[in-house]
Structure 1
Amino acid sequence: MPPEPREDRSERNIRTAFFLNLSFTLLEFIGGAYTGSLAITADALHDLGDSFSLGLSWFFERVARRERTSAFSYGYRRFSLLAALINAVILVIGSITILALAVPRILAPEMPDAGGMFVFALIGIAANGAAALRVRGGKTLNEQAVAWHLLEDVMGWVAVLIVSTVLLFRDLPVLDPILSVLIALFVLWNVGKNLRKTVVIFLQGVPPTITLNEVRTVLTGVPGVLGIHDTHLWSLDGEHHILTTHIVVGGDGAYDELQEIKCRVKEAAAGLGVSHATVEIEREGEQCPVREEY
C-alpha cells in the first residue's frame, strides 16, 4: 500500500488527540471535585482549553487541505497556522486563570485527598501520554502546538503523581497550590517561545531553518547565475516555504538556455527546503526598478 499522505495522518492524529483529551477533561472535573485538589481542578481548566484548541486544530487542519482558489491563491495552509496562534492564546489565558486560583490557596492551603490524586495522576499520565504519542513527530506548527499541549499535560500529571505520593505520607497541603503555580509558569514559558515562532511566520519572517545568506550563496553558485537581488523568503505554515527572487544572467543566452538556468535555480531552492519558488530572469546590464541586496 502507498504511504498515507501527511495531511491525512496529521488530521487523524489531531482528531484522536481531541477525543482523548475531551473525555479525560470531563473526568478531571469530577476528580478535582472529589479529591478537593486545586492542582487537578486547575489542570482540568487547562485541559478544557486544550480540548477547545484541539477541536480548532482539527477543524483548521481540514481547512488547510483545500485546494487554492481565486480568493486564496496560495491555498489554505495558513489556516493551520491560525489554529496554532489561537491555541497559544488559549493556553496563556488558561495559565493566568490557574495562577489566579492558586496564589490565594497558597496563603490558605487545604489538604486534598492524596489517594484520589494519586489514582487520577496515573490515569492522566496514561490518557495524555497516549494522545501525545499520536501527534509525536508532527511537522506543521499546528501539530507541534498540539504536541506541546499534550506533553505539558503529561509532565503536569507526573508532578501531581509525585506530590500526591508525598501527601500520602506528609501533611503538606501547600504543595498542591504550589504545584499549580509551577505548572502554569512552565506552560507560559513554553507557550511564549512557540507563540513567538508563530507570530514571526504570520508576519512573513524568514523561516528559522533557512537564511537569506544561505539562499544567496546557493543560488549564485548555480552555473549561469551572475547574481541575485530582490529576494524574499517566507513560510505558509512553518513547513511549506515560499521564495521569490530576481537572477541576473549573461546577456547572450538563448531562450532555452535561460529556461535551463531557471530550472536549475528552482532545483537548488528546493534543496534548501523551498516548496514554491518564483524566479524572474534579468540579463546582465538590464535596468531593474528593484535593486535591493536580497
Structure 2
Amino acid sequence: MAESHCEHGHHHEKNENHHHEHGGHHHDEHDHHHHDGQMHMHPVVKNLRVAFIINLSFSIIEFIGGALTNSVAILSDAVHDLGDAVVIGISLWMEKFSQKGRSMNYSYGYKRFSTLAAFITSVVLLVGSAIIIFESVPRFFHPEEVHAGGMFALAIVGIIFNGLAILRLRKGDSLNQRAVMLHMMEDVLGWIAVLIGSVVIYYTEWYWIDPLMSLGIAAFILVNATKNIFGVFRIFLQSVPQQVDEHRIISRLTGIDQVKGVHDIHIWSMDGNYNVLTAHIVVDKHARVDELNEIKNQAVQILKEQNIQHPTVQIEFQSGACEFERC
C-alpha cells in the first residue's frame, strides 16, 4: 500500500487532492492507493497454511524421533522447526488479520502486531537454544551412543518435508511467503548436515559429532534470534530504517525547483517493510499555488523511489515561522 498525505491537526480527507492555507503553512492531502498484494490474499493464506501444517507436523515427528534415536542434533532441529512453525502460524494469522485494515484507534492498521510476534518468537527460540546448549555440552565431552540409521531416515524425511513446503511457497510473490521460504531453505541445509553427520557416525562411531552438530544448530538459532530481537528494538524505538538513506532523501527534496529547505523530518518503520515519513518542506515565498501542487507531486514521487510507503509532507513558505524549524 503506497499512500501519501499531509495532515493538519486531526483533519483527514480521503480520495481527493486537497490543499489549503493556514497561518503561512500549506498542507496537502493525497490519494490513498491500496497495494495490489491484497488481490493475492487468498493464495497467500492457502500457501502459508500448507507450509504451517507441514512444519508443525514434522516438528512433532522430530521430537519423537530425537528421543528414539537419542540424538540432540535431531532435537535441536525439532526446536528450530517448531520455532519456524510458530513464525509461519503468526504470519498466517497476521495475513488474515491484516484484512481488517486500519481503524479509528489503530490508524496505521495492525502491522506492529507482527513485530511484537517476532519478538516473542525470538525470545522462545533463545530459551530453546539455551536448553539445547545446556544438554549438548556435557554430551560433547561424554558422548552417548545414537542411532545413526534413525538419524539418516529422519534427515531424508526432513529434506522431503521442507522441500515440499519450499515448492509450495516459491510460487508466491508475497514478502511474507518469501521470508518463510528462506526459513525452509535454512532447514533443508540443516537436514543435509544431519544426513552427512549420520553417515559419518554410522561408519566411524564418532558419537561426539551429534552434540557438535547440535551446538552448531543452537549457535545458528542464537545468532538469528538475537538479530531479530535487535531489529525489533530498532522498530519499537522508531529508528530510521536501515534501508532508507535520510541524507539522500533531504538532498533529493532540496533539489526540487523552488524548495529552499527541509526540516522536522522523521522516518520510521511500522514492521520493517512499511516505512513512514513526515517532513516540513520550505518553499520560496513567491511560489504560486499551482507550483505548490507540482512541488508536492515531485516530493511524493521522490519519497516513493526512496522506499517510503507512507509520506506526509507539510509545505511552508520561506517567510513563515515554524516552531519545529530546529527539530
TM score, norm. by length of structure 2: 0.81
**In structure 1, C-alpha distance between the alignment counterparts of 2:68 and 2:203, rounded to whole Å:** 20
1:78-101 per-residue CA deviation (whole Å, 9 max, x = no partner) reads 222222222222221221121111
For residue 260 of structure 2, what is the aligned residue in structure 1?
226
Q: Does 1:160 align with 2:197?
A: no
Q: Percent identity?
A: 43
1:53-77 per-residue CA deviation (whole Å, 9 max, x = no partner) reads 3222321232233211011011112
Higher mean C-alpha displacement, 158-167 vs 130-139: 130-139
For residue 112 of structure 1, what is the aligned residue in structure 2?
146
For residue 252 of structure 1, what is the aligned residue in structure 2?
286
RMSD: 2.4
Q: Does 1:197 align with 2:231?
A: yes
- Structure 2: tracts of 5 or more residues without a match: 1-35
Q: 1:135 to 1:78 in 2, by over 3 A?
A: farther
Q: 1:267 to 1:88 in 2, by over 3 A?
A: same
Contact 1:88-1:145 at 8 Å conserved across structures:
no
Deviation at 1:147, TM superposition (A): 4.3
Q: 1:9 to 1:248 in 2, by over 3 A?
A: farther
Q: Does 1:41 align with 2:46?
A: no
Q: 1:145 to 1:81 in 2, by over 3 A?
A: farther
For residue 248 of structure 2, what is the aligned residue in structure 1?
214
**In structure 2, C-alpha distance between the alignment counterparts of 1:84 and 1:133, rounded to whole Å:** 24
- Report the AA paired with residue 100 of structure 2: R
Contact 1:81-1:237 at 8 Å conserved across structures:
yes
Contact 2:79-2:125 at 8 Å conserved across structures:
no
Contact 2:80-2:221 at 8 Å conserved across structures:
no
Instruction: Flag as ranges the 4+ runs of structure 1 deviating above 6 A.
Output: none
Pick one of 49, 56, 61 that aligns with 2:95: 61
**In structure 1, C-alpha distance between the alignment counterparts of 2:283 and 2:219, rounded to whole Å:** 55
Q: 1:161 to 1:182 in 2, by over 3 A?
A: same
Q: 1:27 to 1:118 in 2, by over 3 A?
A: same
Contact 2:258-2:287 at 8 Å conserved across structures:
no
**In structure 1, C-alpha distance between the alignment counterparts of 2:130 and 2:179, rounded to whole Å:** 18
Deviation at 1:173, TM superposition (A): 1.0
TM score, norm. by length of structure 1: 0.89
Q: SS at 1:64's partner residue?
A: helix
Contact 1:249-1:283 at 8 Å conserved across structures:
yes
Higher mean C-alpha displacement, 47-56 vs 267-276: 47-56
Higher mean C-alpha displacement, 143-152 vs 179-188: 143-152
Pick one of 54, 57, 79 that aligns with 1:20: 54
1:122-144 per-residue CA deviation (whole Å, 9 max, x = no partner) reads 1112212332454568765x656
Deviation at 1:153, TM superposition (A): 2.2
Q: SS at 1:24's partner residue?
A: helix
Q: RCO (CA 8 Å, sep 6+): is it higher in 1 or 2?
A: 2
For residue 276 of structure 1, what is the aligned residue in structure 2?
310
Deviation at 1:277, TM superposition (A): 1.0
Q: 1:292 to 1:5 in 2, by over 3 A?
A: farther
**In structure 2, C-alpha distance between the alignment counterparts of 1:124 and 1:70, rounded to whole Å:** 46
Q: SS at 1:5's partner residue?
A: helix
